[in-house]
A and B are shown apart, each in its own frame.
Chain A
């Protein structure tokens, strides 16, 4: 085990980034033209990075598996984006946003990165407004703000319930402009299958053209991964169907450390599963918890219609357990509380996996028109999916996997442990610790892409001694050959199980043992069963068609094969982290009231795992976390 060096600059936290920027080596515009950069992923982080790098003069190649960069999953974020603008004059500051994010992350994030994130947050809003992002405004023409979970100030900017969409379209349009100018070459419907390492430096990628099936390589002077999170390892999550771990997992196998994979976030307000056919879960904005009241029947098995259950026979369990935050308790706490009442047999709806989110009181008090104005689009979405009218009947909600805080380990410059490989957005691990606050994912993706990477990557390129490589080199040939062999192997099994059936089985196993509540026995069981399932996959999966055409089963099979390897690391990390913190709840470590109990003496560090070869346990590296500026304290939302 080694201690990792995050290369955080010294000095007071307020001046670290400014000083670091001043010390970074620059490169002349003429030289930038000679350094090609490969950007994988076109969401908020990838598109903003690709556009910004091309504006600086670097030739950029950008890759996405979707048919257009505009469809990346960032588009589905609803709520908003945080920034420490303090427009409402309610006492916000860079310091407070920094502090809230560290505390919200349950003291498992790196202070210097989080402070920098808060520092650049204001510039993000300036940038987006200049691009034409239609944020909500007040009658005076200035920007409107709303409040969000885990904060006592209103610092969230929003564009109706479609903030992610509008921010992504802003970044996409900046990217499109560079494509039109010929400075970015875009490769849609192209999936990255491997990173190519030459003399210890990431120098290229292997990709598959999803339409022709052709596998080919691209060489560059740096590789940027902005490929999102791994929530789909659970099969059912709120992520888009295509979200996958392949890019980061393949980079991990080539030497990039994977940090804190057990930090997964479960969102409390999703629409429950309706049957085995369920293909994904739909999130409804947390804002519903502002007016809706969450409850279950007092008596297990009470199957009466919700409106027939009298007040005194209902348990408003969040209000009961958390009197000061009530229905607005943070995501991890609200999710676990829902699971607890369902485990007691008091859940509602099909399979007893749901709790009520009831607006009857709010409608009586505020009138249906007000509720319609506030939540109309969400109610409509609920009705579309469930066929039930939430104005007349209490909604049913249940937690679902939503975001993953873990990811590839990066240093202060966002470079992974594999030199030349940079990792941005949800794909890295650095800013959210063990729990992400609402409206912070959009902020981080854009901070990384617009305002951090363009500075740090230039320093790398200016100081690294990079030899000339081309995509015909031996390392490239070898990696291509391996990718081709994997495709052939997937097609050759021709067993009896479909890819989805195995993915669903993996998802259930993880949800049961590595989900909201984890304990040693269950984790050990999962660690036994994941390799068995992987065996079954490779001996019994059926992928029809060929590798030389659009073949969606083959795409899924490759992703599930990687999920089956990654799942083991996820479970191993959850077993290793013998404490509860943020989204990671170990049943063995809770207070008498059932709250998460951190163990700062043993686990105040980042656990970053090194791939040691197939069949060998990953090797642990630690990055100690020191809290110089925010006092380590127990989170309390009571």
Chain B
């Protein structure tokens, strides 16, 4: 049975009024929590108390709180989404911490994800990368029967493994190069495993990588920090698949710049 004993922690939270103002860590000592609380519920309760004493509450993103929408985006003690493997911070509970702990909470840190306020960042770059090529170009209507093209079960499973990406950006936040290649690789991998996605395989890799570079993300140099923090445990194999598609497409279509990878 879960313990219901109260504990106390000290929170150090990044506060920043806006994109253009400098931020700083602010300490909130003596925060009373229950082990059954989620990490975000702790922030909710702290915000209630801050509001009561006239201090502005801490801004942070969250929506579904079930680990699927990808909105929540906190770095906890230096680790995007915190200490529990394969878990978004909205599903992290206080029983993963101990009475008296000091907990440091920061936003995603990456040039391509500017801070909007406190712990909220702008991840519009991810949407622009998808808009550049992360799709199959089909119109509504006139599609063949869903069973017209068989897809081997293994291919469908591999596509699904990659497609489970929630677009949270933890991979970028964890990477010393702030690379987005796990995110981009996941979409490229999802669609390259399916016959429906193969027609645009070359074009997709080229366009998405071009946009990724334009947004200011770095390149992969095989730290694998992204895989370690990914709440959906997406494998770095998708980066190898991205590199393969990108290189092949570059030769075929005359693009010279490689998408990174291949050791540092």
**What string of 1s and 0s marks CB contacts (under 8 Å) between A170-200 and chain B?**
0011101101100000101000000000000
A99 at the interface (CB under 8 A from B): no
**What string of 1s and 0s marks CB contacts (under 8 Å) between B120-149 and chain A?**
101110110011111111111101111101
Q: Quote the shortest CB–CB distance from A446 to chain B (angstroms).
A: 10
Give the A interface residue count (CB, 8 A). Answer: 83
Chain B neighbourhood of A282, CB < 8 A: 65-66
Give the contacts of B37-69 with A (CB-CB under 8 A).
37-38, 40-42, 44-45, 47-48, 51-52, 54-57, 59, 61-69
Q: For B140, give its contact among A48, A71, A87, A186 (CB under 8 Å).
A: A48
B107 at the interface (CB under 8 A from A): no
- Bound-state CA distance A139–B157 (Å) is 11
Give the contacts of B99-130 with A (CB-CB under 8 A).
116-117, 120, 122-124, 126-127, 130
Q: Quote the shortest CB–CB distance from A605 to chain B (angstroms).
A: 34
Q: Quote the shortest CB–CB distance from A517 to chain B (angstroms).
A: 27
Chain B neighbourhood of A55, CB < 8 A: 139-140
A131 and B135 within 8 A (CB)? yes
B68 and A162 within 8 A (CB)? yes
A130 and B167 within 8 A (CB)? no
B134 and A173 within 8 A (CB)? yes
B263 at the interface (CB under 8 A from A): no
B140 and A51 within 8 A (CB)? yes
Q: Given the known inter-chain contacts A188-B124, A240-B69, please indicate yes or no for A135 contacting B156, CB distance below 8 A.
A: yes
B164 at the interface (CB under 8 A from A): yes
- Bound-state CA distance A134–B2 (Å) is 37
Chain A neighbourhood of B163, CB < 8 A: 134, 159, 166, 169
B34 and A143 within 8 A (CB)? no
- Bound-state CA distance A85–B147 (Å) is 10
- Bound-state CA distance A476–B47 (Å) is 36
B70 at the interface (CB under 8 A from A): yes
- Bound-state CA distance A275–B4 (Å) is 10
Q: Quote the shortest CB–CB distance from A226 to chain B (angstroms).
A: 15
Q: For B68, give its contact among A85, A165, A545 (CB under 8 Å).
A: A165
A542 at the interface (CB under 8 A from B): yes
Chain B neighbourhood of A186, CB < 8 A: 127
Q: For A75, give its contact among B68, B120, B134, B159 (CB under 8 Å).
A: B68
| Nearest residue, chain B, Cβ from A173 | B135
Chain B neighbourhood of A51, CB < 8 A: 140
Give the contacts of B1-32 with A (CB-CB under 8 A).
1-2, 4, 17-18
| Nearest residue, chain A, Cβ from B54 | A544
B156 and A137 within 8 A (CB)? yes
Give the B interface residue count (CB, 8 A). Answer: 82
A416 at the interface (CB under 8 A from B): no
A388 at the interface (CB under 8 A from B): yes
User: Which segment of B87-95, B212-220, B240-248 sits at the interface?
Assistant: B87-95
User: Which segment of A214-222, A482-490, A525-533, A548-556 sits at the interface?
Assistant: A548-556
A280 and B65 within 8 A (CB)? yes
B258 at the interface (CB under 8 A from A): no
B144 and A130 within 8 A (CB)? yes
B65 and A241 within 8 A (CB)? yes
Q: Quote the shortest CB–CB distance from A164 to chain B (angstroms).
A: 8
Q: For A188, give its contact among B51, B66, B127 (CB under 8 Å).
A: B127
User: Which segment of B75-83, B170-178, B188-196 sits at the interface?
Assistant: B188-196
User: Which segment of A27-35, A121-129, A146-154, A575-583 sits at the interface?
Assistant: A121-129
Q: Quote the shortest CB–CB distance from A435 to chain B (angstroms).
A: 23
- Bound-state CA distance A55–B139 (Å) is 7
Q: For A66, give its contact among B63, B95, B130, B196 (CB under 8 Å).
A: B63
- Bound-state CA distance A174–B24 (Å) is 40
Q: Given the known inter-chain contacts A127-B141, A162-B68, A450-B140, please indicate yes or no for A137 contacting B153, CB distance below 8 A.
A: yes
A613 at the interface (CB under 8 A from B): no
- Bound-state CA distance A544–B47 (Å) is 11
Chain A neighbourhood of B133, CB < 8 A: 180
- Bound-state CA distance A70–B124 (Å) is 11
- Bound-state CA distance A147–B163 (Å) is 24
B117 and A277 within 8 A (CB)? no
A138 and B153 within 8 A (CB)? yes
Central interface residue in A172, A274, A350, A454, by most chain B CB within 10 Å: A274
| Nearest residue, chain A, Cβ from B121 | A67
- Bound-state CA distance A178–B134 (Å) is 12
Chain B neighbourhood of A539, CB < 8 A: none
A391 at the interface (CB under 8 A from B): no
B91 and A381 within 8 A (CB)? yes
| Nearest residue, chain B, Cβ from A135 | B156
| Nearest residue, chain A, Cβ from B168 | A71
Chain B neighbourhood of A381, CB < 8 A: 66-67, 91
B87 and A384 within 8 A (CB)? yes
B71 at the interface (CB under 8 A from A): yes
A240 and B64 within 8 A (CB)? yes
B160 and A160 within 8 A (CB)? yes
Chain B neighbourhood of A552, CB < 8 A: 57, 59
A500 and B65 within 8 A (CB)? no
Chain B neighbourhood of A172, CB < 8 A: 130
B36 at the interface (CB under 8 A from A): yes
Central interface residue in B4, B18, B36, B59, by most chain A CB within 10 Å: B36
B185 at the interface (CB under 8 A from A): no
Central interface residue in B35, B68, B120, B152, by most chain A CB within 10 Å: B68
Chain A neighbourhood of B138, CB < 8 A: 127, 130-131, 174
20 additional contacts, CB 8 Å, given A240-B69, A549-B117? A67-B71, A70-B167, A71-B64, A126-B145, A130-B136, A131-B135, A131-B196, A132-B159, A132-B190, A134-B163, A141-B153, A176-B135, A240-B63, A241-B62, A277-B36, A277-B44, A280-B65, A381-B91, A544-B57, A550-B18
Enumerate 11 A-B pairs (CB-CB under 8 Å) in ascending A order.
A71-B71, A126-B145, A165-B164, A173-B130, A274-B37, A277-B41, A277-B45, A279-B38, A279-B40, A387-B35, A542-B51
Identify the 4 closest CB pairs spanning chains A and B, nearest first: A141-B150, A180-B131, A173-B135, A387-B2
